[in-house]
Structure 1
Amino acid sequence: MKLHELSAAELLRHYAAKTLSPVEVTRAVIAHIGRWEPHLHATYAFDGEAALKQAADSEARWLKGQPQGALDGVPAMIKENIATQGTPTPLGTAATELKPADRDAPPAARLREAGAVILGKTTMPDYGMLSSGLSSFHPLTRNPWDLSKNPGGSSSGAGAGVAAGYGPLHVGTDIGGSVRLPAGWCGIFTLKPSLGRIPIYPPYAGRVAGPMTRTVEDAALMMGVLSLPDARDTMSLPYQDIAWSSLDRDLRGLKIGLLMDAGWGFPVEPQVRDAVEAAARAFEAEGAIVTSMKPFMTREMADGMDRFWRTRSWIDICALPAERRAKVLPFIVEWARGGEGQSGEAVFKGYSQMAAMREAAVAACAPFDVVFSPTCPIPAFAAGLPCPTNDPSRPFEHIAFTLPYNMSEQPAASINCGYTSSGLPIGLQIIGHRFDDLGVLQVSRAWERLRPAQRDWPTPP
Structure 2
Amino acid sequence: MPEVPLRLGQAALVAGYREGRFSPLEVARTALDRAEGGLARLNGLSSLDHEMTMEAARASAARWRENRVLGPLDGVPISFKDSFHIKGLPRWHGTACHPGKLSAADALPVRGARAAGMIPVCKTAMPDFAMLMSGLSSHHGIIRNAWNPDDSPGGSSSGAGPSVVLGAAGVALGTDMVGSVRLPAALSGLASIKPTQGRIAYDPPGAFRSAGPMAASVDEVELTLAALGHFAEGDHFSAEGGYRPDPGCRPTGRRIALWRRAGWGDATDAETLAAVDLAAGLLADRGAEIVEIADLEADAQDYEAIHWNMLHVGAPDYFGLPPQARGRIHPVIGAMYEALLTQTAIFAAGVRHRLLVASARIAAQLAGFDHVLSPALPVRRFAADLPCPDPGLGMASHQAFACWFNQTGWPAATVPVLDPGDGGVPVSVQIAGKRFDDGGVIGLARVLEAARGFDIRWPSPFAEGAQ
Of the structure 1 ranges 195-204 and 224-233, higher mean CA displacement relative to structure 2 is found in: 224-233
Task: Tell me what 1:292 maps to.
Answer: 292
- Matches of 1:227 and 1:310, distance apart in 2: 27
Return the offset for 1:164: 2.1
Question: What's the TM-score once normalised by structure 1's chain length?
Answer: 0.94
Of the structure 1 ranges 233-242 and 448-457, higher mean CA displacement relative to structure 2 is found in: 233-242
Gaps of 5+ in 2: none
Provide Cα deviations, 1:258-305, integer angstroms capped at 9, x if missing partner.
Answer: 001223111211221111111111111122111101312211211223
- Matches of 1:185 and 1:361, distance apart in 2: 26
Q: Aligned ranges for residues 103-114 of structure 1 at < 5 Å?
A: 103-114=105-116
Structure 2 residue 104 is matched with structure 1 residue 102: yes
- Matches of 2:325 and 2:304, distance apart in 1: 29
Structure 2 residue 255 is matched with structure 1 residue 249: no
Return the offset for 1:63: 0.8
Provide Cα deviations, 1:363-390, integer angstroms capped at 9, x if missing partner.
Answer: 2322122110001111221111222233
Return the offset for 1:44: 1.7
> Is the 1:248–1:446 Cα contact (8 Å) retained in structure 2?
no
Percent identity between matched residues is 33
Of the structure 1 ranges 220-229 and 432-441, higher mean CA displacement relative to structure 2 is found in: 220-229
Return the offset for 1:196: 0.5
One-letter code of the match for 1:8? Answer: Q
Report the secondary structure of 1:273's partner residue: helix
Task: Tell me what 2:264 maps to.
Answer: 264
- Matches of 1:175 and 1:307, distance apart in 2: 13
Report the secondary structure of 1:230's partner residue: coil
Return the offset for 1:416: 1.1
Of the candidates 152, 155, 162, which is equivalent to residue 153 of structure 1? 155
Question: RMSD of aligned C-alpha atoms?
Answer: 2.0
Task: Tell me what 1:301 maps to.
Answer: 302
- Matches of 1:102 and 1:34, distance apart in 2: 24
- Matches of 2:361 and 2:65, distance apart in 1: 54
Return the offset for 1:425: 3.1
One-letter code of the match for 1:430? Answer: I
Return the offset for 1:440: 0.6
Report the secondary structure of 1:338's partner residue: helix
Gaps of 5+ in 1: none
- Matches of 1:105 and 1:292, distance apart in 2: 41
Provide Cα deviations, 1:81-106, integer angstroms capped at 9, x if missing partner.
Answer: 11111222211011113322121111
Return the offset for 1:323: 0.8
Task: Tell me what 1:317 maps to.
Answer: 318
- Matches of 2:207 and 2:361, distance apart in 1: 17
> Is the 1:196–1:235 Cα contact (8 Å) retained in structure 2?
yes
Return the offset for 1:239: 1.5
CA shift in 2, pair 1:205/1:140, >3 Å = same
Task: Tell me what 1:434 maps to.
Answer: 435
Q: Aligned ranges for residues 22-421 of structure 1 at < 5 Å?
A: 22-240=24-242, 242=244, 244=245, 246-295=246-295, 296-311=297-312, 313-314=314-315, 316-390=317-391, 394-420=394-420
One-letter code of the match for 2:416? Answer: N
Return the offset for 1:163: 2.0
Provide Cα deviations, 1:67-91, integer angstroms capped at 9, x if missing partner.
Answer: 2444221111111111111222211
Count of residues paired in the alignment: 458
One-letter code of the match for 2:372? Answer: V
> Is the 1:197–1:237 Cα contact (8 Å) retained in structure 2?
yes
Return the offset for 1:315: 5.5
> Is the 1:69–1:113 Cα contact (8 Å) retained in structure 2?
no
> Is the 2:97–2:327 Cα contact (8 Å) retained in structure 1?
yes
Return the offset for 1:347: 1.9
Of the structure 1 ranges 356-365 and 147-156, higher mean CA displacement relative to structure 2 is found in: 356-365
Report the secondary structure of 1:267's partner residue: coil
Return the offset for 1:21: 1.4
> Is the 2:187–2:381 Cα contact (8 Å) retained in structure 1?
yes
Of the structure 1 ranges 446-455 and 177-186, higher mean CA displacement relative to structure 2 is found in: 446-455
- Matches of 1:175 and 1:209, distance apart in 2: 9
Of the structure 1 ranges 431-440 and 313-322, higher mean CA displacement relative to structure 2 is found in: 313-322
Report the secondary structure of 1:283's partner residue: helix
Return the offset for 1:359: 1.0
Provide Cα deviations, 1:416-435, integer angstroms capped at 9, x if missing partner.
Answer: 12245652432201001111
Return the offset for 1:215: 0.6
Report the secondary structure of 1:81's partner residue: coil
> Is the 1:77–1:170 Cα contact (8 Å) retained in structure 2?
yes
- Matches of 2:55 and 2:368, distance apart in 1: 51
Structure 2 residue 465 is matched with structure 1 residue 458: no
One-letter code of the match for 1:170? Answer: A
> Is the 1:39–1:147 Cα contact (8 Å) retained in structure 2?
no
Question: What's the TM-score once normalised by structure 2's chain length?
Answer: 0.93
One-letter code of the match for 1:281? Answer: G
> Is the 2:255–2:370 Cα contact (8 Å) retained in structure 1?
yes
Return the offset for 1:356: 2.2
- Matches of 1:227 and 1:201, distance apart in 2: 14
Of the structure 1 ranges 435-444 and 10-19, higher mean CA displacement relative to structure 2 is found in: 10-19
Report the secondary structure of 1:405's partner residue: helix
One-letter code of the match for 2:211? Answer: A
- Matches of 1:433 and 1:31, distance apart in 2: 41
CA shift in 2, pair 1:219/1:127, >3 Å = same
Provide Cα deviations, 1:291-340, integer angstroms capped at 9, x if missing partner.
Answer: 10131221121122333444554565333211101011111111122222
Of the structure 1 ranges 76-85 and 251-260, higher mean CA displacement relative to structure 2 is found in: 251-260
Of the structure 1 ranges 91-100 and 65-74, higher mean CA displacement relative to structure 2 is found in: 65-74
Return the offset for 1:396: 1.4
> Is the 1:41–1:142 Cα contact (8 Å) retained in structure 2?
yes
Of the structure 1 ranges 397-406 and 306-315, higher mean CA displacement relative to structure 2 is found in: 306-315
> Is the 2:171–2:213 Cα contact (8 Å) retained in structure 1?
yes
One-letter code of the match for 2:362? Answer: A
Return the offset for 1:399: 0.3
